[in-house]
Amino acid sequence: MSRHLPLHRGVSGLRNLSNSNDFWDSEVKDKTEKEDLDRNRASDQSYLSLRFPFRLLCPDNSPSKYGVTENGFASDPFSVGSPRSRHKLTVLFLKLSLVVIVILALTGSFWWTLSISTLSRGHIFHGYRRLQEQLVLDLWDIGELSLGASRMKEIDFCPEESENHIPCFNISENLALRYSDSSEYDRQCGQGSRQSCLVLPPVNYKIPLRWPTGRDVIWVANVKITGQEVFTSGSLTKRMMMLEEEQISFRSASLMFDGVEDYSHQIAEMIGLRNESNFIQAGVRTILDIGCGYGSFGAHLFSKQLLTMCIANYESSGSQVQLTLERGLPAMIGSFNAKQLPYPSLSFDMLHCARCGIDWDEKDGIFLIEVDRVLKPGGYFVWTSPLTNVQSFLRNKEKQKRWNFVRDFAENLCWELMSQQEETVLWKKTSKKNCYNSRKPGSGPPICSKGQDVESPYYQPLQNCIGGTHSRRWLPIEERPTWPSRSNLNKNELALYGLHSEELNEDTANSRTAVRNYWSLLSPLIFSDHPKRPGDEDPSPPYNMLRNVLDMNARYGGLNAALLEGGKSVWVMNVVPTSGPNYLPLILDRGYVGVLHDWREAFPTYPRTYDMVHADGLLSLETSQHRRCTMLDLFTEIDRLLRPEGWILIRDAAPLVESARALTTRLKWDARIIEIESNSDERLLICQKPFFKKQAM
């Protein structure tokens, strides 16, 4: 039974233009009407350029000659001589007059601002800026009034073939554009890559099971995989699952499967630890799992307070990322084919590759250079592959040649070969920068110049030089505070990111208050199957319906910190927009996971990924940019990322939140606005995505 938020849907009080025609004299000559019409049509183009602030962002991918365009613009041609056309001309004339008055007012206000003294400017700037923002929103609302009922038209559902589609990953289109050498699987975001429809779940989709049950058992119908793909999976962690009638079970403790617990215990021993529970004491908290199978390695380590981010290539069927996400575990699509990963240099404590399908000896070792870039000083690289098995060298000289290349190249990267057992090899990255200068001339890739060594590249081409050496964040993992102490940075550590402790403390305090408010508002609904009295502790899993949260504007990772501090059993994908300040290095150094992303583009994940989406200040950030996409584009992407019955929390300036609520009807979301504080100019929009079931054909 679908549980829906008992909220108000849509927008109330929307004003419509009157249909009265009393403004016009019915005896006016046709010639005069035509002349007026031509003049108004010429002016109409200038008005449309002011119509919708967000529309400056992305080109309209589905123009229509008549009717309503993608963002709600009415484009019906006037019918000369009709009462309706005369009324529309009057309305258009009034709107154009208002625009002229506004422009004149702004011009006069601008010159008046220039004429005041320097001392006075600081006092009025903030109020003047607020008036400008309100003016833009007023123009937006004026345009909406002329659209009437057409503005409220609901967005159509996507066709069935889009139920697992990810924009920017279109293999057939990439092949047509002559991408090859595995680059056809790469992310290619261009104009028209966004969807303008709502993605429906598969026919027999079911709400995921609650944690911790849902971490080990998923519904077959929720993912795109066949029984044959289950049984023929070759990866180490892929083989640790069992297909039942309607479910896939991941049982690492079963004797009939490879034991991930024994495997992780072996890695700990290779480092010199007693078991995997001691990873944290060795400075390991975050792990990048390349080609992660179906996430069993990360699922096991999750209980040890280790956070594993799974990345794998896009797959149209049997996707590793999709199944990992369905289990509620951190994952996203990422590829080593041609571009750098969207993570800063020196991001992870360990990188893991268990039969991940990457040929590390190809392209002159450039993939290993990228591993080195995202690995923290003193971090570990674990590689499990038949290629590393010494016994196979006796039978295959080609394998021996490939292994020798990887081993020698790793040495030239200043990696220490710590241990090799059967098919598993473990290296440790150097903690000392002077190691690179002590290498023999020409014995390895050079160090990147300061201009090349970009700390946070965004899908830039892979580089054939060693990065991260110019970073102020070069600090060995064994010298960092261990988890969870590393999440609380001191004054000197914050200085590395250009922050003062007061700024982080304020963000932390605000996030704590926000989490308390969110939980207070949502607990009776999220935990509706297990009611709790106000003030009681949150019930333990399996009653917790939230497994993960997408924070679309993470800032310093405050929401993540507040959720952990509050004892919430969720993980957060911290997204830092490319349009704002980049504090992703800070977030990752605090022991969280996150990624850099441009919200003009689709997020690199499958539909129905997250249980909750949080956006604090994102609308203000996007409207401040003159190249952003429409709010409707942004909300359509949120709908794709959110699972049925998932939640959306949008906190922003009151006018922006009111405008956002107007769009929720088109998206079929249940929504209501909450006043946060009586003296605050911010509002909170709470929405829930309904569960629309597709009928079987």
Query: Both 420 and 494 in a single domain?
Result: no
Do β-strands 610-616 and 670-675 pair in parallel, antiparallel, or remain unpaired?
Answer: unpaired
Query: Both 618 and 642 in a single domain?
Result: yes
Query: Both 402 and 543 in a single domain?
Result: no
CATH number (domain holding residue 346): 3.40.50.150
Query: Both 501 and 629 in a single domain?
Result: yes
Q: Of 189, 179, 170, which is closest to residue 316 (Cα–Cα)?
A: 170
Query: Both 493 and 474 in a single domain?
Result: no
Residue range 249-268: mean pLDDT, rounded: 72
CA distance 537 to 550: 24
Q: Tokens in use for 314?
A: 């896009």
3-state secondary structure of 416: strand
Query: Both 417 and 491 in a single domain?
Result: no
Both ends of the chain: CA-CA distance in Å?
22
Query: Both 442 and 495 in a single domain?
Result: no
Query: Both 383 and 495 in a single domain?
Result: no
Residue range of the domain that includes 351: 255-479
Digit-coded pLDDT (tens) for 624-665: 876 567 899 999 999 999 999 999 999 999 999 999 999 999
Q: Is residue 353 part of a domain?
A: yes
Q: Is residue 375 part of a domain?
A: yes
Q: Tokens in use for 160?
A: 């069935």
Query: Both 467 and 571 in a single domain?
Result: no
Q: Is residue 555 part of a domain?
A: yes
Return the pLDDT at 531: 46
Q: Is residue 263 part of a domain?
A: yes
Per-residue confidence band for 152, with pLDDT thresholds at 50, 70 and 90 = low
Q: How far is CA 111 from the centre of its chain?
A: 42
pLDDT above 60 for 76: no
Q: How far is CA 410 from the centre of its chain?
A: 33
Q: Which residues contact 548 (CB under 8 A, 6 or more apart)?
A: 328, 330, 570, 571, 572, 573, 609, 610, 611, 612
Beta bridge partners of 312: 333
Query: Both 529 and 562 in a single domain?
Result: yes
Query: Both 468 and 495 in a single domain?
Result: no
Among 438, 460, 479, the domain-final residue is 479
DSSP state of 40: H
DSSP state of 10: S
DSSP characters over 425-484: EEEEE-S-THHHHTSPTTSSPPBPPTTT--SS-SSPBP-SSB-STT-TT---GGGSPPTT
Q: Is residue 215 part of a domain?
A: no
Per-residue confidence band for 612, with pLDDT thresholds at 50, 70 and 90 = very high
Among 454, 479, 504, the domain-final residue is 479
Q: Are 601 and 189 in contact (CB under 8 A)?
A: yes
Q: What count of Cα atoms within 13 Å lies in the side-chain half-sphere of residue 480?
A: 31
Q: Is residue 612 part of a domain?
A: yes
Q: Is residue 337 part of a domain?
A: yes
Q: What is the mean pLDDT of the chain?
A: 78
Other CB atoms within 10 A of residue 472 CB: 11
Query: Both 359 and 428 in a single domain?
Result: yes
Digit-coded pLDDT (tens) for 470-524: 999 999 999 999 999 999 999 999 999 999 999 999 999 999 999 999 988 887 6
pLDDT above 70 for 558: yes
Among 464, 479, 494, the domain-final residue is 479
Q: Is residue 67 part of a domain?
A: no
Count: domains in the chain: 2
Return the pLDDT at 230: 62
Q: Are 380 and 350 in contact (CB under 8 A)?
A: yes
* CB burial string 397-426: b at 16+ within 10 A, e below: eebeebbebbbebbebbbbeeebbeebbbb
pLDDT above 60 for 13: no
